Amino acid sequence: MTGDLLIRSVRPWPNALDEPVVDVLCRDGLVAESGPGLAAPEGVPVVDGRGGVLLPAFVDSHAHLDSTRLGLPFRSHSAGTGLAELIDNDRRNWRSAEKSVAERATHTLGRTIAAGATHVRSHAQVDVDSGLEKLEGVLAARQAHADRAHVQVVAFPQVGILREKGTAELLDAALRAGADLVGGLDPAGYDRDPVRHLDVVFGLAEKHQVGVDVHLHDEGSLGAFTIELICERVAALGMQGQVTVSHAFALSSVDSERQRELVDLLAEHDVAVTTVSPGAREPLPIRQLRWAGVRLGLGQDGIRDYWSPYGSGDMLERAWQLAHRNGFRQDALVEMCVDIATRGGAAVLGTTLGLTEGAPADLVVVPGDTVTAAVMDRAPRTLVVHAGRVVAVEGELV
């Protein structure tokens, strides 16, 4: 559903204190015109941006809505160390949550939208323990907010593909049930057979004509080798622009020459990368990735779940984290983080966002003097607009 809207008194992407306010007219879900003192066409709703910072809507390009506990009583972290223990801890506890997967995912997606993100890619765990229950919960959340956000869902093998018989068949069923992409998890480090693992992932992608999003936590030479294998598959199947490597910790754990080779390889094959700006890892080389033309998005990962107590549903907060973790102080670098959290994520999801005429009218208004000030203050969003319709005001859904 698209709409018409006139937003008064906003400053599009201001990087100086004296940027003038303008009005922005949205027609049929697109930005149609901007300028001072625009006349309101008959019948078009008018809202006041109160001189705030106008940005493209945020994009959460890597979420796990199926595991969230946001809004529920706080639960102490109970997992041990290492990926396997984190996976097992989630399996031990997810059924004891006070609400269903659908209820929890719907609440957290709503908070994410209210904070300004109208495009989301969420992974949904598919395994022999949960079957399609977690996928169905995320699909229900997507439907509940269908008029407020565009949500892609990844059928994600959180416990690997080869370790448990029947997982590949469940991924196939998940794609038939409505998942938009097929995922993978550490084909070498966790499943210990990268060729067979990628055979399943890319085989399903080819069968269902969907994209791929692979979690790659493996560091150093093992992760680098896997990136090369993924790029080989992309070339062989002509899947340029349809594949994402999430986390990609190998990029920040190899030497500079090897890093440059991998970045160039990703750019050559148009393989996207997403980061969640984790606190315990070396930051990805985000400037090098962008200079090379690699599509780069930002996500929240798990949000207050059995993996981690962190997360709030706020992508502006995550943009602050990306800037902070990289030690950025200059306005241009902080703005780059916002761009990764908006237009960058949109490119990963295969769409475009912007502020110019003809861009989708997916917009957010944030109180603040400049873009950088808005990141530092992170005030409740004045307005959130999706497809030319107001979907949230002052941090609350409408």
Strand order in the sheet with 181-185: 58-63, 117-125, 150-156, 181-185, 211-215, 243-246, 272-275, 296-298
CA-wise closest residue to 67 among 139, 109, 124, 110:
124
Residue 239 is predicted with a pLDDT of: 98
pLDDT digits (tens, 9 = 90+) for 170-191: 999 999 999 999 999 999 999 9
Weakest-pLDDT range from 85-89, 105-109, 300-304: 85-89
Token pair of 90, please?
A: 């989630």
Residue with more model confidence, 349 or 308: 349
Q: Match 């769409």 to its residue by tokens.
A: 351
Taking residues 154-162, report their average pLDDT. 96
Distance CA 23, CA 46 (A): 10
CA-wise closest residue to 313 among 133, 104, 29:
104
Residues 318, 275 contacting (CB under 8 angstroms):
no
Q: pLDDT class for 84, splitting at 50, 70, 90?
A: confident
CATH assignment, 58-348 = 3.20.20.140
Query: Residue 1: pLDDT above 80?
Result: no
Taking residues 286-303, report their average pLDDT. 97
Residue 318 is predicted with a pLDDT of: 98
Parallel, antiparallel or unpaired: strands 58-63 and 181-185: unpaired
pLDDT digits (tens, 9 = 90+) for 123-156: 999 999 999 999 999 999 999 999 999 999 999 9
pLDDT digits (tens, 9 = 90+) for 260-281: 999 999 999 999 999 999 988 9
Residues 379, 93 contacting (CB under 8 angstroms):
no
The single-letter code of the amino acid at 280 is A
How would CATH label the architecture of 5-56+355-397? Answer: Roll (2.30)
Q: In terms of pTM, does the model score above 0.85?
A: yes
Distance CA 384, CA 184 (A): 33
Query: Residue 345: pLDDT above 90?
Result: yes
Parallel, antiparallel or unpaired: strands 30-35 and 46-56: unpaired
Q: pLDDT class for 113, splitting at 50, 70, 90?
A: very high
Residue 306 is predicted with a pLDDT of: 87
The structural domains of the chain, with segments of one domain joined by +, span 5-56+355-397, 58-348
pLDDT digits (tens, 9 = 90+) for 48-82: 999 999 999 999 999 999 999 999 998 888 888 88
Taking residues 302-323, report their average pLDDT. 94
Tell me how crowded residue 357 is: count the other CB atoms within 10 A of its CB.
12
What average pLDDT does the structure give for the chain? 96
Weakest-pLDDT range from 87-91, 178-182, 265-269, 384-388: 87-91
